[in-house]
Copies of this chain bind each other. A is one copy, B any other.
């Protein structure tokens, strides 16, 4: 099992950042097969897989989350970022992906996104590669 980390720099309060190319670069030997596990160690951010062809989709996901999650609720946590913590739980902290011959196996329209819910910040992601025999 190979493992490592890589940085993601965000520039907005909330945004989805396409990290597919960063993830592909982890598979530098080009012949790995198995499963790739990506882990987000932050509590106001997430990881998701969604459409990457039209950049409007990632904006719509953020806008939709902001409509759904109560932004003006009298939350107790004094930092004021409870909506971001809730979005983290809704999105989830990790994604797992198949790998074939050194390439991440994604559907036609799928891309991998880092979800920033309380930025801008310098973030770090962890990865683990389980190679099949």
Hey, what's the 0/1 contact readout for A82-98 against B, CB within 8 Å counting as 1? 11011011111111111
Among A7-15, A22-30, A71-79, the one that faces the other chain is A71-79
CB-nearest residue of chain B to A54: B77
Question: Does A19 have its Cβ within 8 Å of any Cβ on chain B?
Answer: no
Q: Which of A44-87 contact B (CB under 8 A)?
A: 48-51, 54, 56-57, 59-61, 63-65, 67-70, 73, 75-79, 82-83, 85-86
Distance, CA A96 to CA B64, complexed state (A): 27
List the interface of chain A (C-beta within 8 A of B): 1, 3, 33-35, 37, 39-43, 48-51, 54, 56-57, 59-61, 63-65, 67-70, 73, 75-79, 82-83, 85-86, 88-98, 105-110, 126, 128, 130, 132-133
CB-nearest residue of chain B to A92: B92
Chain B residues, Cβ within 8 Å of A40: 107
The answer on a CB contact under 8 Å between A83 and B64 is yes
A50-B43, A50-B88, A70-B67 known; A82+B60 contact, CB < 8 A: yes
The answer on a CB contact under 8 Å between A41 and B132 is no
Chain B residues, Cβ within 8 Å of A67: 70, 73
A60 touches which of B60, B85, B95 (Cβ 8 Å): B85
